[in-house]
Amino acid sequence: MSKDYGDYQLEEGGRGEAKEKESVSRRSLLSIGWIASLVSLIGPGLANIRYLFPNVLYETPTAFKLRKPAEYPPNSISFEEDRRLFVFNDRHGFRAMSAVCTHLRCTVGPFGPGKGATSRCPCHGSLFDKQGRVLSGPAPRSLDFFRLTESPDGRLQVDTQDIVSADMYFKV
Amino acid sequence: MDDASGTLGKSKVSRLVNWIVSTRVWRSIIRHGNPDNDLDRMQAVFTNFFLHIMPARVHVHTLRPTATLGLGVIALFLFFILIITGVLLMFYYVPSVDRAYNDMKDLQFVVSYGVILRNMHRWAAHGMVAAVFIHMCRVFYTGSYKPPREFNWVLGVVLWVLTMFLSFTGYLLPWDQLAFWAITVGSSIAAYPPLMGDTIRFMLLGGQEVGQGALLRFYVLHVAILPIVISMVLAVHLWRVRKDGGLARPREGAGGAHPTSAVGSGDWDTGKTYGLMALARGVTPVVGTQAPEEEVTAWPHLTFRLLVVFVATLTAVTAVSLLFDAPLEEIANPTHPPNPSKAPWYFLGLQELVSYSALVGGVIVPGLAVLGIMLIPYIDYSPEAEGVWFTSDRGRKLAWKSSLAGAVSVPILIILNAQFGLRTLWANAPQIMVDIVNPATALLIGMAIFSSTVVRRTGSRRLGAIALFSSFLGALIVLTIIGTFFRGANWVFVLPWEQTGAGH
Amino acid sequence: MNSDIQAENHALRKWHWAFAIVGVVAAVLFTLSYWMDYDREWRKYQRNYASELRAILSGKGVRELPNPGIVYVQTIVSPTRVDRCQMCHRGIDDPRFAKSPHISGKSRC
Ligand code: HEM
Ligand code: FES
């Protein structure tokens, strides 16, 4: 007693008599309170995590127009800097290849002239050929090719969400 | 059968729990045992970083809801809620005149849970301004500012001003009409102090008008500088509550020694220590008068109450946020002020005074009010009945009478001013005359005469302080009500139901 | 034992009750807040749009009726401005909806 004066344990100590008076036990009040309070604290916590995932984005749309086909010289590789992609125009037709390195998303370098030209990523040195295949370096997979279509006003149109195989050509 | 497996399950769980709490890792984090005895309960408070601001044992008087009305902790919890919701809002808000308003709209309409967070932030901010002010009133009326707590009162006044400034800077951020014009009006008051005025306003706005510069400045003040400063002052405020010997409370028994008289006087030299640091001889002024029998362990008596008050505060803020959306009007338009343009409600009392004389109403009265309030504990340091509401029956009656007097004198002065105001009698009176003869000055002088008369008649500085504070309070409340509900377009007197403008 | 402390122990019991009640109210309010945040007005309009679209298509021998999901529809005007008319007025630019009671009348935005 000398140590535990003022101890609310006393209430529990006197439980036997107290219990008959108490319609709801201390234990159940506390557990209701704790469960409900945790719901109302963890709940908003989870809702706040949901809040961090925006429903709308202010990014450039994934579908966009390029130039007119005639503006790409025959047998050329054009680099569309803003869109980070290459447009190949060869005897089979047009293709659009991503210039985003599959390693860590740097923009890969330009292709040199000539048949066996390659593109090197400046960040960690991955080397790609004109089919997008990885020749060396840390890149885990080939560069993507996107579907090309023609827009109503006669320009090439790309959707970067629409990935196609490397031998899919668009013919004018 | 069921029973058997039940107990088996239970014993397995409790064996697991026992094992976890006995591991080296657990014991390195939680240093005390299960708080089922007084020693461990005190250890729990003493060794826990988040709880150590509390004493290990508290006096039962401090725990009574009527002692504090829990207002300080409510203000504190609102501050926590504001920090959490505010940091989340920062993830979407860009303080640019081109984007701010759209970001608000996005939070309102397309960000999941955005509108509720915005509402909670807005209403908790208003709640904090109110809670801090009422906390100040409770500290005043319970006489809890008396020695040794004088300086903590001063820190409190600083916190009050910072809180209003924090709320005011946040008011601009939505960049809607309400925000833009409230800040235009509010920051114009800053231009009135003689000599310095224009410089202060220019520095605050980062330009001649409310624009991109002002938005960025207010943003930095609102999300970084003011919260950090408040947190630091708050830390000292709470630390001082502890060091001043816990909350003020009535002294036990009639004619007990004044608390401070025990300091270093050695008359508590029994060499007895109990609990942990509940008592450390001679370090805090009030130690000597603490009667151990009147104390209980802070865990759970205090900690549990704090938990309940926290959940209750959160509940109240959520409820208000579900019922009312934070206002968002048209995008700010610097060429078209809404009529009337009103400052936030807690400044409307000021705006009312400013409408008579900007210098007196906007600078001198608030300046003197803040200074006067800060000085209260240095003027009234009588050791009279601290921790007792209104000190005595006489004090209670005086408080009511003076706040009524303050409240009534405001409309009377306003009517007198409308009928016999200086400008109505002498249309082109010089500005200096207007600054001297107007309701704001009259109010100030009236209060000064009234309270000094009370001191002379009763010989009690405490009663004088009650007279001054209460008449100030009564006048402030009525001024705020008039500014909020009875002022319409062109600041003309209207009845509340004829109001057209919006304001919050 | 001190009577103040006994009173305090009784008071604590009231706080236990307060804890249970306030906790339950808080939990209910949170659930409500989440629901109110989810169930926005535009969802109703998009549900109407979906059912009308199905009605329009069902007579036309279309075998598999499309299930237009409920989505945020936005048109990007500039990097900082978007136009979200179609969140509520989906199908506003679709001639098949010209006579729709849900579109006509309140289509200006
Ligand atoms: C940011 C705003 C503030 C916060 C968060 C805050 C917080 C607190 C807390 C938690 C306490 C413990 C007692 C209680 O809950 O009532 C307290 C006590 C105190 N506060 Fe404040 N406070 C604030 C502003 C103020 C103001 C504006 C004043 C007065 C001008 C003030 C003066 C005091 C004093 C003198 C005490 C000790 C009271 C006593 O011993 O009974 N505080 N404050
Ligand atoms: S990002 Fe291209 S190689 Fe690493």
> Hey, what domains does chain B have and what are their CATH numbers?
71-250+297-338 (1.20.810.10), 348-504 (no CATH)
Tell me, what amino acid is at C72?
Answer: Y
Instruction: Please indicate, yes or no, if residue A170 is contained in any of the structural domains.
Output: no
Contact of A55 with chain B, judged by CB distance below 8 Å, is answered with: yes
Distance from CA of B302 to the nearest CA of A (A): 12
- Kindly state whether residues A74 and A156 are assigned to the same domain: yes
Residues of C in contact with B121 (CB under 8 A): none
User: Helices in B324-421 by DSSP H: which ranges?
Assistant: 348-354, 358-359, 365-379, 393-420
Average pLDDT score over residue span B297-323: 94
Q: How far apart are CA B124 and CA A32, in angstroms?
A: 26
pTM, rounded to two decimals? 0.85
- Kindly state whether residues A76 and A12 are assigned to the same domain: no
Instruction: Please indicate, yes or no, if residue A171 is contained in any of the structural domains.
Output: no
- Kindly state whether residues A47 and A68 are assigned to the same domain: no
pLDDT band at A11 (very low <50, low <70, confident <90, very high): very low
Radius of gyration of chain B (CA): 27
Q: How far apart are CA B143 and CA B385, in angstroms?
A: 7
Parse chain C into domains and list their residue ranges.
1-39, 41-97
How many separate domains does chain A show?
Answer: 2
User: Mind listing the pLDDT tens digit for each residue in B129-150?
Assistant: 999 999 999 999 999 999 899 9
Element (H, E) at C36: helix C3-38
What average pLDDT does the structure give for chain B? 85
Among the candidates A13, A31, A51, a domain finishes at A51
Among partner residues B60, B113, B311, which is closest to C37 by beta-carbon distance? B113
Instruction: Please indicate, yes or no, if residue A58 is contained in any of the structural domains.
Output: no
Closest ligand (CA of B136): 1
Residue B438 CA to chain centroid, in angstroms?
30
Structural domain boundaries, residue A29? 3-51
Complex-level ipTM beyond the 0.90 threshold = no
Element (H, E) at B316: helix B298-323
Q: What percent of chain B has pLDDT over 70?
A: 88
Instruction: Please indicate, yes or no, if residue A77 is contained in any of the structural domains.
Output: yes
Quick one: which of C3, C105, C98 has its CA closest to C52?
C98
Distance from CA of A95 to the nearest CA of C (A): 27
- Kindly state whether residues A99 and A157 are assigned to the same domain: yes
Examine the pLDDT at B25 and tell me if it is beyond 90. Answer: yes
Residue B262 CB neighbours (<10 A): 21
pLDDT band at B306 (very low <50, low <70, confident <90, very high): very high
Instruction: Give the residue, B425 or B441, on which the prediction is more confident.
Output: B441
Whole-number Cα distances in Å, B74 to B121, B129, B142, B167: 15, 11, 18, 17
- Report the pLDDT value the prediction gives residue B292, as an integer from 0 to 100: 61
Among partner residues B37, B57, B113, which is closest to A47 by beta-carbon distance? B113
User: Mind listing the pLDDT tens digit for each residue in A59-89?
Assistant: 777 888 999 999 999 999 999 999 999 999 9
Q: How far apart are CA A97 and CA B403, in angstroms?
A: 79
Distance B299 CA to ligand 1 centre (A): 21
- Report the pLDDT value the prediction gives residue B311, as an integer from 0 to 100: 95
- Kindly state whether residues A22 and A107 are assigned to the same domain: no
User: Mind listing the pLDDT tens digit for each residue in C18-72?
Assistant: 999 999 999 999 999 999 988 888 888 888 887 887 777 777 766 666 665 666 6
Distance A115 CA to ligand 2 centre (A): 24
Instruction: Please indicate, yes or no, if residue A57 is contained in any of the structural domains.
Output: no
- Kindly state whether residues A81 and A17 are assigned to the same domain: no
Q: How far apart are CA B152 and CA B135, in angstroms?
A: 13
- Kindly state whether residues A17 and A95 are assigned to the same domain: no
Distance A9 CA to ligand 2 centre (A): 66
Residue A138 CA to chain centroid, in angstroms?
20
Average pLDDT score over residue span B391-417: 92
Distance from CA of C43 to the nearest CA of B (A): 12
Give B274-310 as a DSSP string.
-TTTT--TTTSTTGGG--GGGEEEHHHHHHHHHHHHH
Reading the block at residue B105, the tokens are 């709209």
Q: Do A5 and C1 touch (CB under 8 A)?
A: yes
Residues of B in contact with A34 (CB under 8 A): none
CA dihedral of residues B168, B170, B172, B176 (deg, nearest 10): -120
Average pLDDT score over residue span C85-92: 74
Distance B71 CA to ligand 1 centre (A): 8
- Kindly state whether residues A31 and A78 are assigned to the same domain: no
pLDDT band at B265 (very low <50, low <70, confident <90, very high): very low
- Kindly state whether residues A67 and A145 are assigned to the same domain: yes
- Kindly state whether residues A15 and A87 are assigned to the same domain: no
**C-alpha angle with apex B272: B268 to B273, nearest 5 degrees?**
110
- Kindly state whether residues A85 and A147 are assigned to the same domain: yes
Among partner residues A3, A37, A51, which is closest to B111 by beta-carbon distance? A51
* List of residues 6+ apart from B121 with CB closer than 8 A: B82, B85, B86, B89, B326
Closest ligand (CA of A138): 2
- Kindly state whether residues A73 and A41 are assigned to the same domain: no
Q: Do A52 and B91 touch (CB under 8 A)?
A: yes
What average pLDDT does the structure give for chain A? 86
